Amino acid sequence: MDFKSMQMFSHLAQHLHFGKTAEHFHLSPSTLSRAITRMEEELGVTLFARDNRSVALTQAGKTFEQFCLTQIEQWQLFQHGLNQQQARLTGKLHIYCSVTAAYSHLPSLLEKFRAQHPLVEIVLTTGDASDAIEQVAHQGADIAIAAKPDTIGNKLQFLPIAKIPMTIIAPKIACHVHQLVNNQPIDWREIPFILPEHGPARKRFESWYRHKQLGKPTIYATVSGHEALVSMVALGCGVGIAPVVVVENSPVKDKVFEISDNNAIAPFELGLVHLRQQKDQPLINAFVEALR
C-alpha cells in the first residue's frame, strides 16, 4: 500500500462520493473502485459499505481512517523537516468562517499571519457559523472561526479569541410584529420568531424562552446563518436572537432595533478550532502563533 492510496482513501472517507474523489485524483470512478478493492483485499477487511445509492465507512474503515490521517500528518511533518532550510512556509491553509467573521475578526488574524508567512496561500470558505465545527471535524477546513459548543470532544482544539454578546431584535417597519413588540408588557406567546437551524444561538434562544415558562414558541421560520436571520427580521417576518457583531455589521442594521428584556441572554465564546492531532502541522501552528 503506497502513500497515494492512503490519500485517496482519506479523501473518499471524508466525502463518501466515488465521483468526487475520482475527479480530485484525476481517475475514473472504476479505477478508484478497483484501488479501494485492492486495499480491502490487502487488509482483509471491508472498508466501505456501498451500494448503488450510498457509501458509508464500516467500523474497520473508521479505524483505518484514523491510521491514514496519522500517516499523512507524519508525512507532512517529515516533508517540512526536510525543507527547514527554507526561510518561509509555503502551502495552502483552508479556513472556514461566517460572512460576518470574514470581516469582523479574520482580517486582524490574517494581517499578522500574512506578514510573517506571505507565501502561504489562504483558501477561504464562508458559510453558516453553526457549521464551522463540522467543517473542521470532517476536514473540510484546516481551521475555523467558530462559537464554542457546550461540548467539543477530544478530537478538536479550541482557542478563544472573543466574547460575543447576543441581542433580541425586532423590525422597525410598520407591521404586525412591530405592533406586537410595542405592547407593554410584551406577550411573547404571540410573537413569531426567526431562528437559526442549529448552533449556539439556537440553544441560547431555547434556554431564554424556556426560562419564561410560556410553553412552545411560535416559530415563523428557521434559517441558515445569522446574516439571513437579521434580514428576515428587517423585513418584518418576526423577532430573532442574533450576535451583536452580526447586527452591527449587517447592511440592514438600520431597519431593526433591540428589545430590552430582564432575562439576560448568555454570550458565547468565539475562537479558532482545529483538529487536535494537527496542532503540530506547520501551517496550523503558525496561524495559532499569530494569535499570541
- Cα separation, 291 vs 61, in Å, equals 36
Cβ(171)–Cβ(233) below 8 Å:
yes
pLDDT score, position 152: 83
SS3 for 90-133 is CEEEEEEECHHHHHHCHHHHHHHHHHHCCCEEEEEEECCHHHHH
Element (H, E) at 160: strand 156-164
Given a cut of 60, whether residue 85 has pLDDT beyond it is no
Q: Between residues 82 and 128, which one has the greater pLDDT?
A: 128
pLDDT given at position 83: 61
Position 80 pLDDT exceeds 80: no
On whether the CB atoms of residues 104 and 117 are closer than 8 A, the answer is no
> Across-strand partners of 48?
57
This model's pTM is above 0.75 = no
Question: At 41, phi and psi to the nearest 5?
Answer: -65, -40
Helix (H) or strand (E) holding 219: strand 218-223
Contact present, 125 and 96 (Cβ < 8 Å): yes
d(C-alpha 105, C-alpha 99), whole Å: 10
Residue-level pLDDT at 209: 92
Quick check: 40 pLDDT over 60? Answer: yes
Distance, in Å, from the CA atom of 97 to the CA atom of 181, rounded to the nearest integer, reads 33
Percent pLDDT > 90 in the chain is 62
**Mind listing the pLDDT tens digit for each residue in 227-253?**
999 999 999 999 999 999 999 999 999
Question: Cα separation of 255 and 95, whole Å?
Answer: 31
pLDDT over 50 at 58, yes or no: yes
Which of these, 253, 286, 262, lies nearest to 272 by C-alpha position?
286
Lowest mean pLDDT among 5-9, 11-15, 75-79, 254-258: 75-79
Residues facing residue 147 across a β-bridge: 270
Would you say residue 86 has pLDDT above 50? no
Residue 84 has pLDDT above 60, yes or no: no
Backbone angles phi, psi at 52, to 5 degrees: -70, -15
